[in-house]
Chain A
């Protein structure tokens, strides 16, 4: 209590007990008062010096503590560098062809060891210092508080003792000027108002306001007009017709399942056995032909010219050729389009009245079946290593375009969109947080409704075909994602090498990473190019020359697939297609491998070579494009020729 210090014996009249310091101090005699003042001021000076020094030291320690990471101390990193150098020296010595003298070896090992010991010692020391500092900071905080209390008491006492005696007596009322005081107060308020207005004004014009992207407030999806009858050349197309024909990559819905119909399994290209017709391909391309009724369409490009071709499906006679565009230089660059992808990798799609084609140049063009251009779009040229290759998909008079062209997920260049096939108008567009991929979208008719499913890196996601709204998404794919997903019985199957192959439920909503995986495997046979084919009971995963059949419900049991057949001499690039109960897989040499869905394919030796037990038919030329099946015939696009396999 500061008051205590001035309860002096000299002050006879000073009231005892609750003696007000203000009154009491006035009675302390001059010299005694000065002595006490000196004492208090001295204590205050010492205390303030103590507090100041301590505060400075503490602040320094605090800043050091915030800034320094004991593990990244310069002392340690320096030793670390030396250790690295010593390790390298030891390794070089060990790798050298001639063994150096034993003494030299010993010296190098010893040097490394001593460096390590030095590091450990420094590490221990630094950690010790760190904890020491922590302890000091806690202790110092309390010391500072104690110092502050002493300072408070001594200063208060000093101030009290130095206090001038108060002026006494009533106020001179004539000097009170209430009007003037009121005027002053009003001006102060005005000043305050100006300050407040200025502050708010400054906030208004401060440049820190982050601009937000403009977004339309009305997000309702544009009403979709169901145009079954379009302009002049259209004819009624039923879903049944679309399903029977081959309207896009891997057929109707894009899942690699053809309408069940008996097809030939026996042909021979070189001898012409069961080859209905054969036509040279004008410009190369790895896209598959599409067929609607009596016409076949496909694209070709040499990098400079991009063309769409129409053939008579029954005779192979070319009907028309449409030049879509021409450039001086190959687009994309020759360097980035590798031979495997080519300049026309994307398969076309048709709604029966119009055919749509897309090229790695970002050009999307719609033609009527006579080759007249209906509409055209230009998208960004994909910023990726092989050029855009995702095939088109048609569903319910809408063209679905998977544009996974972002280099990173940050730019969100990737999206999936639906265009009205008649007009090219965008019906919906949904951004996709994925980077570049080469997969194609599929349609899944799930028990809970139709979904458009598109796989990407890292997400696979399902979209509502009507609104484009994302239904679910699963994150888990990496690398160069080229295979497209498979679908059967409410489950989507997707896999790519370096990630997992898994079965995902389609009846959940939102981010389904934690909930939707039915089974999952990360074995070495996951596909790199070839799409997944799923049937009711089995899932086929193809990589290189290896075909693996897995149980669709459970995946590999004890890491064992149903069967696994690896013919190392062959390579598959085309996707497998299921027709009825037969799976057709075309290898890069143009040999079709055929087996029943429930048949176990194994290896046999023929003439000292491994061959699979599947049935085979030879085309006679290399073939990368996925085969097309329509009207009981098989259409194959070889490197040089287009073939139709069937009987008259």
Chain B
């Protein structure tokens, strides 16, 4: 008010009267003038929800057809490129199945969040497709998978043990993302999405950099994000072994050429196991038993760790952060820490009430973090257990969990080659041996 009065005085007599009243009155024009109406900017059409869902179903159906029926790598490649262009660059990566996990978790949570049907569709449809056709979503539709797939030029084989160890991370990330979204703290998956910045051709510099590094890695380590980070991939990895149809290596006519195993950039093809039984059955049994017994202990240990980490993690929440800043400013009256606390003090809200609210949130975080810890313990325990279980395979098979249905193995397989060209398998193999200098 004071400022306004001063201003008006400085600006000259004409304005003083009006400014004292608080605002400058709307003028009355004698020249023809139409006051522009306040019109809300347009909204994107709701049709996009339908178009996106239809595109998703179409891409996955065509993908399933190409992978399972046509067994065509070239077709899959075209589809991958189209998916990348549509879901990635055209739709800018938003509404994606990976992120939808968080929306689902949040809508279950206490924040009263309503799940839009299109997000629900993006969450559920790939799951359902996976239960029928394996991970065709990962291999053909997902834009994040697609961008990694098209840059995969020189696949390096990751040792089995490393694959197993790093393969735990997606499950832990899934747990963290679900807990964070459930509590309404953050959408971690979206925040740390490495490729969405490329789709939007802009983004926070650190994420663009991280995305660039990851993409460069994908040139050599096929689909690094899918295998070692993606939380949706973790879910699909569990569901895919239940699927009705999935990628199969021609089991009847297999010529044991090993080409598929070498051709798979994701280490998803398992070679046959020796028929001879294990020499040390007693030891195997002990380890198996020990890993079953260790499970509850692991769960308890990690739950405790999670509980202890809860207060720190609660710092993700705005109210907790604000309460901390406010408390600091209360202790030191001269401290100024930015707009957040300024706005808080201006609003006249009670710091005590904020502190109580923050403590409630912190309590919820502690519980959430404990649940997350227990989940991590369970994942480690289960993984230890499965590492101790041996399965017998008589021929080359695509691992149901890790295979992303990219159809590369079809391309290397001489049997598939023969099927496509109508030539004799043995002839092709012999030819290949000659050119490779193998006798």
Query: Which residues of A come within 8 Å of B, CB atoms?
Result: 1, 3, 13, 15, 17-18, 20-23, 26-27, 55, 59, 62-63, 66, 138, 141-142, 145, 152, 155-156, 159, 165-171, 173-174, 176, 178-179, 181-182, 184-193, 196-197, 200-201, 203-204, 206, 208-213, 215, 217, 219, 407-413, 431, 433, 459, 473, 475, 478-479, 498-500, 511, 522
Contacts and interface: CB of A to CB of B under 8 A. Distances in A.
B166 to A, nearest CB: 8
B420 A213 contact: no
A185 B158 CA distance: 13
Given A17-B420, A23-B417, A478-B2, A206 B380 contact: no
Contact of B74 (A3, A190, A208): A3
Contacts of A13: 431
Given A145-B201, A152-B150, A213-B352, 19 more contacts: A13-B431, A15-B417, A17-B421, A22-B263, A66-B205, A168-B257, A171-B258, A179-B284, A181-B160, A181-B161, A182-B390, A184-B160, A185-B160, A188-B161, A193-B298, A200-B376, A206-B312, A212-B355, A212-B359
Chain B CB within 10 Å, residue with most, of A22, A141, A473: A22
A412 B330 contact: yes
B72 A410 contact: no
Interface stretch (B54-62, B116-124, B135-143, B269-277): B269-277
Given A168-B438, A192-B168, A210 B315 contact: yes
Interface in B157-177: 159-162, 164-166, 168-169, 172
Contact of B324 (A15, A174, A190, A211): A211
B327 A210 contact: yes
B1 A522 contact: yes
Contacts of B162: 188
B125 interface: no
Contacts of A159: 153-154
B274 A213 contact: no
Interface of B: 1-2, 5, 20-22, 72-74, 77, 89, 150-151, 153-154, 159-162, 164-166, 168-169, 172, 201-202, 205, 212, 219, 256-259, 262-263, 271-274, 278-280, 284, 287, 298, 301-302, 305-306, 308-309, 311-313, 315, 320-321, 323-325, 327-330, 333, 335, 341, 345-352, 355-356, 358-359, 362, 373, 376, 380, 383-384, 387-388, 390, 411-412, 414, 416-417, 420-421, 423, 428-429, 431-433, 435-438
A167 B383 contact: no
A181 B390 CA distance: 10
Contact of B333 (A66, A187, A206, A408): A408
Contact of B165 (A166, A191, A522): A191
A141 B201 contact: yes
Contacts of A184: 159-161
A305 B193 CA distance: 71
A181 B278 CA distance: 13
Contacts of A192: 165-166, 168-169, 380, 383
Contacts of B387: 182, 185-186, 189
Given A27-B435, A203-B312, A433 B257 contact: no
Given A20-B417, A189-B164, A168 B432 contact: yes
Contacts of A182: 387-388, 390
A209 B315 contact: yes
B49 to A, nearest CB: 27
Binding site secondary structure of chain B? helix
B373 A200 contact: yes
Contact of B411 (A22, A152, A171, A408): A22
B216 to A, nearest CB: 11
Contacts of B159: 184
A423 B380 CA distance: 62
A210 B309 contact: no
Q: What are the 8 tightest A-B residue pairs by CB atom distance, in nearest-first order?
A: A210-B324, A188-B165, A170-B256, A184-B161, A165-B436, A141-B201, A433-B348, A20-B411
Contact of B305 (A23, A66, A179, A204): A204
Contacts of A63: 205
A22 B201 CA distance: 34
B201 A168 contact: no
Nearest to B257: A168
A200 B306 contact: yes
A636 B215 CA distance: 87
Contact of A189 (B165, B320, B350, B420): B165
23 contacts: A1-B77, A21-B411, A27-B435, A141-B202, A156-B153, A159-B154, A165-B436, A167-B436, A168-B429, A168-B432, A173-B274, A181-B160, A182-B388, A186-B287, A191-B165, A197-B305, A210-B323, A213-B352, A217-B359, A409-B345, A412-B330, A478-B2, A522-B21
A203 B162 CA distance: 25
A59 B205 CA distance: 8
Contact of B351 (A169, A213, A498): A213
B258 A170 contact: yes
A410 B263 contact: no
Contacts of B89: 145
A411 B345 CA distance: 9
A410 B333 contact: yes
A306 B149 CA distance: 85
B432 A26 contact: yes
B172 A196 contact: yes
A216 B195 CA distance: 46
A285 B185 CA distance: 57
Nearest to B279: A179
A169 B172 CA distance: 39
Contact of B1 (A21, A171, A203, A499): A499
A168 B430 CA distance: 10
Contacts of B168: 189, 192, 196
B383 A22 contact: no
B133 to A, nearest CB: 21
Nearest to B309: A203
B313 A203 contact: yes
A179 B285 CA distance: 12
A480 to B, nearest CB: 12
Which of B20, B201, B202 lies at the interface centre, i.e. has the most chain A CB atoms within 10 A of its CB? B201
B309 to A, nearest CB: 4
Contacts of B22: 522
A551 to B, nearest CB: 19
A499 B323 CA distance: 32
B302 A197 contact: yes
B437 A165 contact: yes
A178 B390 contact: yes
Nearest to A498: B2
Given A178-B273, A184-B161, A193-B380, A208 B315 contact: yes
A169 B262 CA distance: 12
B278 A212 contact: no
Given A155-B153, A176-B274, A411-B333, A212 B348 contact: no
Contacts of A210: 315, 320-321, 323-325, 327-328
Contacts of A212: 320, 323-324, 327, 355, 358-359, 362
Contacts of A206: 312
Given A18-B72, A167-B438, A206-B312, A522 B324 contact: no
Contacts of A3: 74
A168 B325 contact: no
Contact of B383 (A59, A176, A189, A209): A189
B22 to A, nearest CB: 8
Nearest to B307: A204
Contacts of A499: 1
A475 B169 CA distance: 52
Contacts of A409: 345-346, 348
Nearest to A500: B1
B345 A215 contact: no
Contacts of A201: 305
B388 A186 contact: yes
Given A21-B411, A182-B388, A168 B436 contact: yes
Contact of B274 (A178, A215, A217): A178
